[in-house]
């Protein structure tokens, strides 16, 4: 059983862990694709999104707003349609409306009582500012891809966070929903990890292939983490 007494800081991925990114993405891409006579199920859309996003983030750094525009462009190329200017901007513009999972805000309030809370997110500063309003708590540090000029699973993003947190590695616990973007890299740097597996059948697979790494703890949601970590 994880001993939470040893940790002073919890680092979090944001989208997929705290914010319901799947519904956010599907709320934009599903009607966009239907408007262009393309009918895909939710998993197909999300798998293509992950493939396109990873490809764009692996190249030279571009802001996440631009990544999302090019993701929409790639959907157009894949299914032979030309997105309008508004459609190209639609994913990035929608982030301000993406909401936390139902358990997120209260769990963060509970966790804030015992730990420093830090964000490590593949996003732009201005886009995270929209999400910060929904999350309703003040984070001790916020590390974005825009600041790191790279995207997770790059080691660079985590190293920047570790430097700013300024605590020994064994006092930092990383909490994330993505094995590919977060758990593997965090473990490789010596951080303990919690996998928030909100989808019971979710596969720990990267777009590039297998990326299995055993987390120190697996929980189905943030509420469970808050309960387990509360002093007894």
What residues are annotated to the active site?
Answer: 13
Closest-CA residue to 175 (of 50, 34, 10): 10
Q: How far is the C-alpha of 63 from the C-alpha of 80, rounded, in Å? A: 25
Hey, CA dihedral for 124, 164, 173, 136, is it positive or negative? negative
- Report the relative pairing of strands 209-210 and 205-206 from DSSP bridges: antiparallel
DSSP 105-147: HHHHHHHHTTSEEEEEESS-HHHHHHHHHHH-S--SEEEEHHH
């Amino acid at each position: 059983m994880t001993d939470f007494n040893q940790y002073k800081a919890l680092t979090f991925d944001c989208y997929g862990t705290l914010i319901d990114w799947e519904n956010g993405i599907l709320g934009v891409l599903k009607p966009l694709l239907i408007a262009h006579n393309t009918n895909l199920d939710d998993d197909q859309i999300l798998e293509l999104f992950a493939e396109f996003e990873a490809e764009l983030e692996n190249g030279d750094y571009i802001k996440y707003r631009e990544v999302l525009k090019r993701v929409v462009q790639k959907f157009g190329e894949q299914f032979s349609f030309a997105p309008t200017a508004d459609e190209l901007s639609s994913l990035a513009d929608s982030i301000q409306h993406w909401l936390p999972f139902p358990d997120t805000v209260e769990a963060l309030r509970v966790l804030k009582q015992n730990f420093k809370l830090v964000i490590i997110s593949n996003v732009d500063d201005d886009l995270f500012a929209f999400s910060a309003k929904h999350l309703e708590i003040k984070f001790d540090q916020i590390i974005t891809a825009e600041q790191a000029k790279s995207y997770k699973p790059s080691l660079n993003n985590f190293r920047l966070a570790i430097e700013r947190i300024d605590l020994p590695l064994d006092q930092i616990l990383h909490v994330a929903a993505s094995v590919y973007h977060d758990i593997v890299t965090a473990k490789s740097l010596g951080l303990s990890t919690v996998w928030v597996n909100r989808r019971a059948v979710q596969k720990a697979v990267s777009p590039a292939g297998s990326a299995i790494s055993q987390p120190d703890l697996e929980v189905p949601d943030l509420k469970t983490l808050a309960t387990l970590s509360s002093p007894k």
